[in-house]
Amino acid sequence: MNNLFVYIELEDGIIANVSFELLTKGRALADELGCKLEAVVIGSGLDGIENQLYPYGVDVVHIADDHRLAPYTTLPHTAIICKLFEAEKPQIALMGATPIGRDLGPRVSSALYSGLTADCTSLIIGEHEDKKEGKKYDQLLYQIRPAFGGNIIATIINPECRPQMATVREGVMKSEIRSKTYKGKVKKIDVPSMVSDTDFVVSIIERHIEQRKVNLSAAPVIVAGGYGVGSKDNFNLLFELAEVLGGEVAASRAAVDAGYIDHDRQVGQTGVTVRPKLYIACGISGQIQHRAGMEDSAQIIAINTDEHAPINAIADYVIHGDVMDVIPKMIKYYKANSK
């Protein structure tokens, strides 16, 4: 009872990376809390899936296996999670901040009247004192996220309601195996007793799942542009530099909102989180929401005309100048020196 639960997300039977990342974080938090780590898998054809989860330090794998449960739809997954949580009373529940987690999480929190914090960038255990009520709380989950356009960082807690729920984006937490020989146990969920026919009123007529066109998280070098790049055309220069360096082009939200580049290249709290060997930030001011998605890069170069841009504070190199002037020089001198 009162353990830490992670919702395992599946796409065509394959476990999403974000679920492994949450299990890794969940295992560390469970160790600190002295509780068990439990995973919930809801889908179809799940034989043996527990063996992929145990190495992350999972003690119990709850499996709901029914042909009607894949692909994901809101109501049956909500019904199963809610009934399971009512019975098991987890203290913490984590989900990916993906289209599935962001569809399921709020629905569950609304049904169970438990607080949910979206898109956390950090989760830690801490205490809290409510002086007005004269109450002390040990071992609460601090759910930390940037807010208000990234100008502030908020620490959110749920003192009274359980589970304490949070969603985290893919790539924000690291994924790490606890032990190849770690063994937990399976608990089968009796699906017919958990869902009713009315949970299947929304039907999927058609699905086209495409591989992501760009894979930012695997790129060793990222050339990222912000609003300061100035136009869609100017982004071509960034593509040129990325190609020369064997990297990918990314962007800040401001550049995406301005229509300079596609949303699937957005880095930051509401985009992708990346940790390349080299991150070249071109005309990016560096609001914290953007920094949250790239500050763990091994090396950061900031190219900016604004000497006081926040990005400069986390950069290893600051090039004071115009992007359109600096990039051609970088291409030229990379070519000259790499031969």
Partner 1 sequence: MKTYKIIVLAKQVPDTRNVGKDAMKADGTVNRAALPAIFNPEDLNALEQALRIKDEYPGSSITLLTMGPGRAADIIREGMFRGADDGILLTDRAFAGSDTLATSYALSRAIAKYGEFDLIVCGRQAIDGDTAQVGPQVAEKLKLPQVTYVEQVLEMHPQSIVIKRRLDNGVEVVKAPLPSLITVTSSAPECRARNAKMIMKFKHAKTVTERQDQNEDYLSLYNDRPYLNIQEMTAADVEVDPKQLGLSGSPTKVKKIDNVVLQASDAKRIEATDADINLLMKELIDSHTIG
Instruction: For the segment 22-41, give every residue that binds partner 1 (CB under 8 A).
Output: none
Gap between the Cα atoms of 59 and 75, Å rounded: 27
Displacement of CA 338 from its chain's centroid (Å): 36
Q: How far is the CB of 113 from partner 1 (least distance, A)?
A: 7
Give, in degrees to the nearest 5, the angle at Cα 70 between 69 and 76. 30
Is residue 243 a contact residue for partner 1 (CB under 8 A)?
no
Question: Given candidates 161, 185, 188, 236, which one binds partner 1 under the rule CB under 8 A?
Answer: 161
State which residue, 87 or 336, has the beta carbon closest to partner 1.
336
State which residue, 183 or 232, has the beta carbon closest to partner 1.
232
Per the listing, tokens 């898109």 go with 119
State which residue, 148 or 236, has the beta carbon closest to partner 1.
148
C-alpha R_g of the chain? 22
Is residue 210 a contact residue for partner 1 (CB under 8 A)?
yes
Residues 45-64 binding partner 1 (CB under 8 A) are none
CA-closest candidate to residue 113, choices 49, 165, 61, 67:
165
Q: How far is the CB of 318 from partner 1 (least distance, A)?
A: 5
Question: Given candidates 50, 59, 66, 119, which one binds partner 1 under the rule CB under 8 A?
Answer: 119
Residues 190-209 binding partner 1 (CB under 8 A) are 201-209
Question: Given candidates 17, 44, 83, 153, which one binds partner 1 under the rule CB under 8 A?
Answer: 153
Per the listing, tokens 């009315």 go with 198
- Give residue 72's region: left, alpha or beta (phi > 0; psi -120 to 50): beta
CA-closest candidate to residue 33, choices 123, 110, 125:
125
State which residue, 80 or 118, has the beta carbon closest to partner 1.
118
Gap between the Cα atoms of 302 and 224, Å rounded: 10
Question: Given candidates 65, 103, 176, 240, which one binds partner 1 under the rule CB under 8 A?
Answer: 103
What is the pattern of x (binds partner 1, CB under 8 A) and - over residues 308-337? --x-xxxxxxxxxxx--xx--xx--xx-xx
Is residue 183 a contact residue for partner 1 (CB under 8 A)?
no
Residue 146: what residue type?
P
Residues 255-294 binding partner 1 (CB under 8 A) are 257, 263-264, 269-270, 277-278, 287-288
Gap between the Cα atoms of 114 and 98, Å rounded: 19
Is residue 218 a contact residue for partner 1 (CB under 8 A)?
no
Residue 183: half-sphere exposure toward Cβ, Cα within 13 Å: 1
